[in-house]
Amino acid sequence: MWDFLTKLGIALIVLGFIAYLVSLIIKTRQRKDILLISEKIKSLLPESEVFIENLNYFYQIKAVKDEKTFFFKIVYSRENHEFIITNTNKWIVNDNPKQWTRKTQPIFIRGAQEFININEAEKKVVIVYPSSKRIIRYLNESDTVIVKPQDKFLNIHFLKFDDLEKIFKIQ
């Protein structure tokens, strides 16, 4: 009996260590991604101060230039996923667009309402990183539109990382 419990204990310790390593790898990767995105923002807003917040905060990057403040929220998505703005304060990532039904459990984006409520921003941007199949906004229960980088909803630009330059050319 003790032999079994010893093996079980060792197995649980090994599994816990593996879970810790995976979590550490994911956080390290996210920090690298945030640094890459912040460097891109610095190149688009020369002479700006760029601040990186906690990954779990309702925004991840804040840039200040000439007394103008820009807030950036990073949403992770893959190229075959869809980013969907369902209503004013609910945003989701659909990780399986081909199999989606009304019963599918969505992946809700945390901090959406807090991000919407930021008032002191010159520009608020949600960056879908690294990309997504498309960014969609529901107009009502059944009608949708594909969101373009220059479009704003609730005074927020929703765009893929590769489209970041487009909104700074619009200024």
Q: What pLDDT sits at residue 160?
A: 95
Please write the tens of the pLDDT for every residue from 23-56.
889 888 888 999 999 999 999 999 899 999 877 7
Predicted confidence band at 121 (pLDDT cuts at 50, 70, 90)? confident
Neighbours of 114 (CB within 10 A): 13
* C-alpha to C-alpha distances, 33 to 17, 61, 74, 86, nearest whole angstrom: 24, 12, 10, 26
Range 44-48 contact pairs with CB under 8 angstroms and sequence separation of 24 or more: 44/164, 44/165, 44/168, 45/70, 45/168
Q: What are phi and psi of 143, to 5 degrees?
A: -100, 135
Structure tokens belonging to residue 16: 């816990």
* pLDDT tens profile 75-112: 999 999 999 998 888 899 988 888 877 777 888 999 99
Residues 6+ apart with CB under 8 A from 45: 63, 65, 70, 168
Q: Please report, rounded to a whole number, the percentage of residues in the chain having pLDDT higher than 90.
A: 50
CA distance 159 to 134: 9
pLDDT tens-digit map of 129-142: 999 999 999 998 88
The whole-number pLDDT of residue 141 equals 83
For 100, left (φ over 0), alpha (ψ -120 to 50), or beta?
A: beta
Per-residue b or e along 23-62, where b marks 16 or more CB atoms closer than 10 Å to that residue's CB: eeeeeeeeeebbeebbebbbeebeebebeeeeeeebbbbb
